[in-house]
Structure 1
Amino acid sequence: MKRFQALVTLSIAALLTGCALEPVQPGMSQAEVFKLYGSPTRIVSLNSGTRLQYSTEPAGQSVVMVDLDVAGKVLAVRQVMMPAEFSKIQPGQWTREDVEREFGRPASVDRVASWPGDIMTYRWLSNNIDDMYFWVYLDARNVVQRTGQGMEIPVRMNDNN
């Protein structure tokens, strides 16, 4: 089952990251992106133009950002659910808004007794096979205080349950 889920996720990620027959390329128009990828899960205004977010969260593990300039032409396309992107988060400086602009909405937002603020959870694949979590810990003012990651451990039910 895990391999099947990985194949499905990889297929979606391949389509979204440009491995489809007609990948999104710099210079394409917003209309061409919509034709290839469909409607984005979220549109974010940037100083340099617009970001189209294509997220498979909460069940999936990929988030693709398509950045458009002010004229609506593609500047860049990138998959952001990866360690190199996570490492850009600056604790003490980034806010919830910054995180959602760069990674989309999280798979979940939780509270625990041992932490005073929200914990944003993102799902991602490590090495295209390992189900992982990435956590962003916010304080009461929605400022990032720390981040962490861990492996998703499947719960196995025995036949007696």
Structure 2
Amino acid sequence: MPAPSRTTWRTAGLMAATVLALSACATVFRQPPPIGAPLTAVTAALGQPAATYPEPDGGQVLEYRGQPMGQFQYMARIGPDGRLISYEQVLTSENFAQVKVDHWTKDDILRHFGRPAEVSRVYVHDYEVWSYRYKEAGVWNSLMNVHFDAQGIVRQMLNGPDPMYDERFRHR
């Protein structure tokens, strides 16, 4: 039997990427339950979250993942009473502006934005960097980079063009 051709592998890869993208979009197109709905109604409407993060007040945050390839991430906030407080797309310039450098921790970032698209390091400062794909101002394909020190404290926030969408970064 002959080995699969490059075209076959490319087609299979495109099909797999399409299925992954469509499954990530499934949450986007679902109608969220109304504010005040119980947790069971939230998961019935939106499906099981990709991750759940406890809130200090006894509530929890449910992550509906759009990363690593999408430019969105939905979070459902559940109060201590087990009812929906909010459901929103959190990767926005306005939400990133709320991060308190030198105060927020990795747990704070996870509760507000979920898991990042990419994790890397800046060895000069010994920073771990979490990168989130998003549409800056709803227009520009951007990457927000959150830099953490060794204690897990946010020390820097930098954004710039997302190399995945920018021709200047593509190999020729």
Considering the TM-score relative to the shorter chain, is it more than 0.5? yes
- The AA in structure 1 aligned to 2:25 is I
Q: 1:43 aligns with which of 34, 37, 52?
A: 52
- The AA in structure 1 aligned to 2:142 is M
The verdict on how the C-alpha distance between 1:136 and 1:33 changes in structure 2, with shifts beyond 3 A counting, is: same
Structure 2 counterpart of 1:146 = 156
Distance of 2:53 and 2:92 partners within structure 1: 20
Distance of 1:157 and 1:148 partners within structure 2: 24
Q: Given that residues 25 and 77 in structure 1 are in contact (C-alpha distance below 8 angstroms), is that contact kept between their aligned partners in structure 2?
A: no
Q: Which has the higher contact order (CA 8 A, sep 6+)?
A: 1
- The AA in structure 2 aligned to 1:37 is L
Percent identity reads 25
- The AA in structure 1 aligned to 2:132 is Y
Task: Confirm whether residue 78 of structure 1 aligns to residue 88 of structure 2.
Answer: yes
Give CA deviations for 1:87-108 in whole Å, capped at 9, x if unaligned.
1111111111111111111111
* Matched position secondary structure for 2:122: coil
Matches for 1:1-161 after TM superposition, within 5 Å = 12=25, 15-16=27-28, 20=30, 22-46=31-55, 47-152=57-162, 153-154=166-167, 155-156=169-170, 158=172
- The AA in structure 1 aligned to 2:89 is Q
**Which protein is richer in helix relative to its size?**
2
The verdict on how the C-alpha distance between 1:127 and 1:92 changes in structure 2, with shifts beyond 3 A counting, is: closer
The verdict on how the C-alpha distance between 1:39 and 1:112 changes in structure 2, with shifts beyond 3 A counting, is: same
Give CA deviations for 1:65-122 in whole Å, capped at 9, x if unaligned.
1111223211111211001100111111111111111111111110134332101111
Q: Which runs of 5+ in 2 are unaligned?
A: 1-17
Count of residue pairs brought into register by the alignment: 147
Q: Which runs of 5+ in 1 are unaligned?
A: none
The verdict on how the C-alpha distance between 1:86 and 1:127 changes in structure 2, with shifts beyond 3 A counting, is: closer
Distance of 2:103 and 2:123 partners within structure 1: 24
Task: Give the TM-score, by structure 1 length.
Answer: 0.79
Distance of 2:148 and 2:124 partners within structure 1: 13
Task: Give the TM-score, by structure 2 length.
Answer: 0.75
Deviating above 6 A after TM superposition, structure 1's stretches of 4 or more consecutive aligned residues are: none
Distance of 1:112 and 1:58 partners within structure 2: 20
